[in-house]
Amino acid sequence: MMKQYLEIKSRYPDSLLLYRMGDFYEMFNEYAVAAARILDLTLTSRHHGRTDKTPLDGFPYHPVERYMPNIIGAGPKVAVCEQIEDPAEAKGVVKRDVTEVVTRGTAINENYLDAKTNNYLASVFPAARGAGSASPVPAVSGNGAGPGMGTERFGLAYLDLSTGRFVVMEGVLDQVVGEIYRLGAQEVIFPEGAEVPAELAQLRDQDKVLLTAQPKGFFSLTEGTAALTRQFKVHSLEAFDCAHMTLGIRAAAAALAYVKDNKKSELHHLVRLSPSRFEQHMTLDAATVRNLELIRPMHGDDEQGTLYHLLDRTVTAMGGRSLKFWLTHPLLEPEKIGARQDAIQELLDRPEILEELRGHLQAINDMERIVARCGAARAHGRDLQGLGNSLVGAGEVGRGLESLESGIFRKSLGKLMGARERGEGLLQRLTERPPLTVREGGMIRPGASRELDELVEGIRDGREWLNGLQAREREATGIHSLKVGYNKVFGYYIEVTKAQEDKVPAHYLRKQSLVGAERYITPEMKEWESRILGAEGEINAMEYRIFCGLREEVNAAAGEILEAARILGAVDVLCCLAKAARDLRFTRPVIAEDARLRIVNGRHPVVESITEEGAYIANDVELDAAGRQILLITGPNMAGKSTYLRQVGLITLLAQVGSFVPADEAHIGLVERIFTRVGATDRLATG
């Protein structure tokens, strides 16, 4: 057994190997020591035929979801080694192999992940020294690039395997590192042998982002382009308008190769590569995101002091993830900002529709992650049932939008209304309460398959015969205490107490002796039992084939379902921002393409929320490019300087997200970047 373990482990030298032995996952040697420290397990040892003892520990395989987050959170990759043959049929050591490698950036199981947080893997590819990109952008430009940003170009791709979101970009180093921080990426891959920039190393050291070197071949442009086109079933990446982004494509190719190598499945839910440009969103570097406490607090883990926590009224996982993206990626196009504002205003004007939409959204499951589990062949019957219910719910959301006039809502109608029919198609073929297992039957509704119904009908006579056996045998033998039972070892049996043993007919065959009773079988019983069990096995196999067909239907429609999920997330965010505007007394700002910033009675929304009502003192701001370009804020410690500075940043940011803002009035001239560096010891949420 240890020989097999060591051979498999040699193929995964940098991973903690969970080696399945019966009902346990076991770990050996230095990895057992590490697991004991991480998981607080009892470390033991065994000789395994050697003179020195081998350290080992383990845990039952059932609660692996409870242990996995702690393991991957501590940094190591986890190679899950399963038994790939039935131990009862094995000759010698049971065959085992690794079925999945889990890392922080490739986790897909919902038990490992926060429902409202994307789990991004980022991939970075640097241009060769002195070489440019096929899509040159000035290193110093209006998109936030400036002095000190450097001119070397990088390709960036980011992928959330649990939702199918896959994006490709190109930019200079500061832009790339800022984006990785904004996204909260858990893992970054880069080419082996490449110098790790100090900015990336800082993410590793300060923010605990896992950096993983991968073979240079993963970043090949030619082979990578071919792999991407195969994955997305297109002839050219021109289909996604990103073929010119050669550095980004190299990064995307490496991300795809990495996740396929780890997951060992086809990943059918990865259906498109979305190009993005840094110029589309306000530039927010890591320090600004950190200082404004948009998503994460500067100190500790208590998120109550963050803007996200204050605003979050989303009722779906997709909405929660979308809200985080919106808050860290404010818009730069007045038309798009205005479209969001119009939608929020209409929801505020139609409170009955707002509550109706929120009610429909509450019934919707995490469609993106269900589709991802289907794509990785890990979904079960309840996943498909949940998806079916959610697609029906998406149709209800579409109906709720019919009476609204805002452009965003009108564009969403068609893609949601068609979802209901697809959801009903799934539900009509699944039982009301499918089991969590997929190979033991009980998933497919009667009427879904004529062939399956015929099989079920075929064993009904046998079951009825066995159900009536006890009454018939009692009458025939006169043994009124006679029982008919079943267990997995002997199958069906007749049990007679020792006191009635003299009445047992001659054709009964003794099978087992107990302290107070004897168990028997009859040839006729075994014949019916064989027919029933054989048919049940055939039924279970057919149900599994039908289930796989349903799962393939989901994979074939993954693009449409994921688009509906994206729309539902956006509708949820708009409802959330409308409810927050009402609850927190926010007003609609004026967005202009000028250089004027005017805020009347502005408030820091988070600080105001933790102070007594009426205690927060509102402040005005008046800035323009002509006469008031700079305000110098002075005052003693704890006078409110930091709060005032952050409040201006947050109001500006919220306005360009498309949200209403905490002020009586606000005129926001579009800004391309917010800079903020505030005292590192300030904790505004706690005063």
**Share of residues in the chain with pLDDT > 90 (%):** 69
* pLDDT for the residue numbered 363: 95
The CATH number of 450-549 is which of 2.40.30.10, 1.10.3720.10, 1.10.1420.10, 3.40.50.300?
Answer: 1.10.1420.10
* pLDDT for the residue numbered 136: 38
Q: How far lies 534's CA from each of 440, 452, 460, 547, in Å?
A: 13, 14, 13, 20
Residue where the block lists tokens 């241009």: 127
Between residues 110 and 326, which one has the greater pLDDT? 326
Question: Angle at CA 532, nearest 5°, toward 526 and 536?
Answer: 140
Between residues 36 and 145, which one has the greater pLDDT? 36
Nearest to 232 by CA among 177, 144, 176, 168: 168
d(C-alpha 280, C-alpha 276), whole Å: 8
Nearest to 13 by CA among 25, 33, 29, 24: 29
- What is the DSSP secondary-structure string of 7-51? HHHHT-TTEEEEEEETTEEEEEHHHHHHHHHHHTPPPEEE-TTSS
Q: What is the DSSP letter of 573?
A: H
- Residue 535 confidence class, pLDDT cut points 50, 70, 90: confident
* pLDDT for the residue numbered 498: 94
Pairing assessment for the beta strands 54-60 and 44-46 based on DSSP bridges: antiparallel
- Residue 682 confidence class, pLDDT cut points 50, 70, 90: low
Q: What is the pLDDT of residues 400-424, one digit of tens each?
A: 999 999 999 999 988 898 899 999 9
Class of the CATH-defined domain 586-686: alpha beta
For helices 173-183 and 198-207, the axis angle rounded to 10 degrees is 20
d(C-alpha 32, C-alpha 43), whole Å: 7
CB atoms within 10 A of CB 128: 9
* pLDDT for the residue numbered 48: 56
* Superfamily for domain range 110-280: MutS, connector domain (3.30.420.110)
Answer yes or no: is pLDDT of 314 > 80.
yes
Name the β-bridge partners of 157: 123, 168
* CATH topology identical between 450-549 and 586-686: no
**Share of residues in the chain with pLDDT > 70 (%):** 94
Q: What are the two backbone dihedrals, phi and then psi, of residue 278, each rounded to the nearest 5 degrees?
A: -60, -25
* pLDDT for the residue numbered 686: 60
Where are the chain's structural domains?
2-102, 110-280, 294-435+551-582, 450-549, 586-686
- Residue 380 confidence class, pLDDT cut points 50, 70, 90: very high
Between residues 637 and 650, which one has the greater pLDDT? 650
- Beta-carbon contacts of residue 338 (< 8 Å; ≥ 6 apart): 591, 658
CB atoms within 10 A of CB 479: 20
- Residue 151 confidence class, pLDDT cut points 50, 70, 90: confident
Q: Are 28 and 54 in contact (CB under 8 A)?
A: yes
Answer yes or no: is pLDDT of 606 > 80.
yes
- Beta-carbon contacts of residue 336 (< 8 Å; ≥ 6 apart): 658
Answer yes or no: is pLDDT of 139 > 90.
no
Q: What is the pLDDT of residues 215-242, one digit of tens each?
A: 999 999 999 999 999 999 999 999 999 9
d(C-alpha 475, C-alpha 482), whole Å: 10
Q: How far lies 252's CA from each of 247, 442, 560, in Å?
A: 9, 41, 22
- What is the DSSP secondary-structure string of 449-506? -HHHHHHHHHTHHHHHHHHTHHHHHHHHH--TT-EEEEETTTEEEEEEEGGGGGG--T
The CATH number of 2-102 is which of 3.40.630.30, 3.10.20.30, 3.40.1170.10, 2.40.30.30?
Answer: 3.40.1170.10
* pLDDT for the residue numbered 148: 42
Answer yes or no: is pLDDT of 138 > 60.
no
Nearest to 353 by CA among 579, 669, 42: 579
Nearest to 432 by CA among 375, 389, 489: 389
Amino acid at 399: R
Q: How far lies 607's CA from each of 374, 576, 634, 642, in Å?
A: 43, 20, 20, 11
Q: How far lies 52's CA from each of 13, 30, 48, 55, 58, in Å?
A: 22, 14, 9, 10, 20
* pLDDT for the residue numbered 67: 85
Which H or E run includes 337? helix 334-349
Answer yes or no: is pLDDT of 140 > 50.
no
The answer regarding whether domain 294-435+551-582 maps to CATH 2.30.130.10 reads: no
